[in-house]
Amino acid sequence: MNRLRQALEPALRRLFHVYWRFQRGATLGVRGMVIDGEGRVFLVRHGYVRGWHLPGGGVETGETMRDALTREMREEGNIEFSGTPILHGIYFNRQASRRDHVALFVIRDFRQSGPPQPGFEIAECGFFSRDNLPAETTQGTRARIAEVFDGTPPPDVW
C-alpha cells in the first residue's frame, strides 16, 4: 500500500491542482498548529501524500478561513475550538503551485473527544513533543513548529 501511495502521489497532486486551477484563480489553504497542555503538537499522516503534516486543507468557494479551519480540524483531528485560533502567518506555498497560499493558525484552546478513525485521508495522527517528531515530518512542518515555539517571525514562503 505504501509503495502504491508513493507511486500515485505525484499524479494525484497534479490532478488536484489542475482541478483547483479551473475552480479557483488562486488556491488558499489553512493549517492548524494544535498545541496541547503538555506542549505537544498534533500532526497527521495522510493516506495520499508522504510525510507528517499539520492538519488542514483548502478554503472552499464561499467559505471563510475560520470556517475552513473549523471544518478541517474536525475532519482531520476530531478537534473543536474552545477558544479563538490565532493567525500566525500567511505563506506563499510554491511547492504546491505558483498560485497557492497557506494561512497558519495556532490553536491552544480546544477539545478532542477522541482521535479520528484511520481512513484514506488520515492514515495516522497524534500529538508529538517538539523533540520527538516522527522521522517523516516534512521540512515545512518542522519550520513552522520552530517558528511558533521560538517566537520567530514567519517568512513569506512556506
Q: Which tens digits make up the pLDDT trace of 82-135?
A: 999 999 999 999 877 788 999 999 999 999 998 888 788 899 999 999 999 999
Asked if residue 73 is part of any domain, the answer here is: yes
pLDDT category of residue 16 using cuts at 50, 70 and 90: confident
Mean pLDDT of the chain: 91
Asked if residue 51 is part of any domain, the answer here is: yes
Residue written as grid cell 479557483: 24
Residue ranges making up the domain that contains 86: 2-150
Asked if residue 12 is part of any domain, the answer here is: yes
Asked if residue 49 is part of any domain, the answer here is: yes
Asked if residue 113 is part of any domain, the answer here is: yes
pLDDT category of residue 14 using cuts at 50, 70 and 90: confident
CATH of residue 107's domain is 3.90.79.10
Strands 41-46 and 110-112: unpaired
Torsion angles phi and psi, residue 68, rounded to 5: -65, -45
Please, which residues bridge with residue 57 across strands? 30
Asked if residue 97 is part of any domain, the answer here is: yes
Asked if residue 157 is part of any domain, the answer here is: no
pTM for the complete prediction?
A: 0.83
Asked if residue 86 is part of any domain, the answer here is: yes
Q: Which of 37, 36, 30 is nearest to 55 (CA)?
A: 30
Q: How far apart are CA 32 and CA 103, in angstroms?
A: 9
Number of domains in the chain: 1
pLDDT category of residue 17 using cuts at 50, 70 and 90: low
Q: How far apart are CA 124 and CA 86, in angstroms?
A: 25
